[in-house]
Amino acid sequence: MAIFKEIAGLRHWRQALKGTLALVPTMGNLHAGHLALVRLAATRADHVLVSIYVNPLQFGPGEDFDRYPRNLGSDLQLLGEAGCQNVFAPDDNVMYPYGRQDLAIVLPPRSLSSVLCGRSRPGHFAGVSTVLSKLLHMVAPEVLVLGEKDYQQLRVVQRLLEDCNFAVQLLPAPIQREADGLAYSSRNQYLSTEERRIAPLLFQHLQELVRRSKESDADPALLAQATRASLELAGFVVEYLELRDGTSLQSLPRARPGARWFAAARLGRTRLIDNLAIDL
């Protein structure tokens, strides 16, 4: 396996590479969701490169940057088993050699980045857009694979690619879930045994919301209100539960093709996000 830690070595390898390259950017602590992206990437390009970098720019004050799980050894083992041959694992000095205080930043459109997760995580999508722009310049892939688990991120990045004319094809990957419906996430390991038992309720409630909003013309805000109460009774602190258009991310007064339910909720110290499309 080729493991690059510096940009020069990565660029050298990239320039000599024959065939197409797909980039799968991650923050490490890899799980089945990430590995599905790697497998999908391998169907669309001759080579796959996984980047592993916990990007400090996309964490706000008081968020879990310091305790975010870092496990390069087991990540490399999982990638090897999944047949991934190429990894880029830079450190902060490589990514931000002049520090992070005074830096050129990529600002995504407000309409996409200030709603949903953007409300409680100001600056998050600017951090994502900035690091991704840097990775795309360093790696120069033909294909970029992102998961629908972070659906808002996917939309933000799609606009970033268009607005900044990146010549890369974006390939969205469906959400991978545990048998009980909980979406795989590096943050699931923060959950206590009791919280892990409750966690699948988030997806179950999303399924119920999709079913109900397809069946009736009910006001999504009212549906969300009842669902929020039920989740809070189970122990969640709900941050948002909203029906929005899957492309513009604008609020919708009723279900329509392309609509999607979005949820973020906390269980103890763990913030979970999930989303589900309305297939009308």
119 C-beta neighbours (distance < 10 Å), count: 11
Q: Which two tokens stand for residue 151?
A: 């659906």
Q: Which two tokens stand for residue 272?
A: 């979970």
Q: Which residues contact 90 (CB under 8 A, 6 or more apart)?
A: 4, 5, 6, 7, 51, 53
Q: Which two tokens stand for residue 258?
A: 């392309």
Q: How far is the CB of 110 from ligand AMP (least distance, A)?
A: 22
* Nearest-angstrom CA–CA distance, 208 and 198: 16
For ligand AMP, give the closer residue by CB, 59 or 223.
59
Catalytic hit among 12, 34, 47, 137: 34
For ligand AMP, give the closer residue by CB, 96 or 184.
184
Q: How far is the CB of 37 from ligand AMP (least distance, A)?
A: 5
Q: How far is the CB of 221 from ligand AMP (least distance, A)?
A: 27
Q: Which of 170, 76, 185 is nearest to 132 (CA)?
A: 170
For ligand AMP, give the closer residue by CB, 11 or 187.
187
User: Which whole-number Å values give the CA distances from 231 to 66, 118, 201, 213, 238, in the listed order?
Assistant: 29, 22, 7, 18, 7
**Whether residue 34 lies in the annotated active site:** yes
For ligand AMP, give the closer residue by CB, 129 or 186.
186
**Contacts with ligand AMP, residue ranges (CB under 6 A):** 26-27, 33-34, 37, 146-147, 149-150, 173, 175-176, 183-186
Q: How far is the CB of 176 from ligand AMP (least distance, A)?
A: 4
> Do residues 223 and 213 lie in contact, with contact meaning Cβ atoms separated by under 8 Å?
yes
Catalytic residues: 34
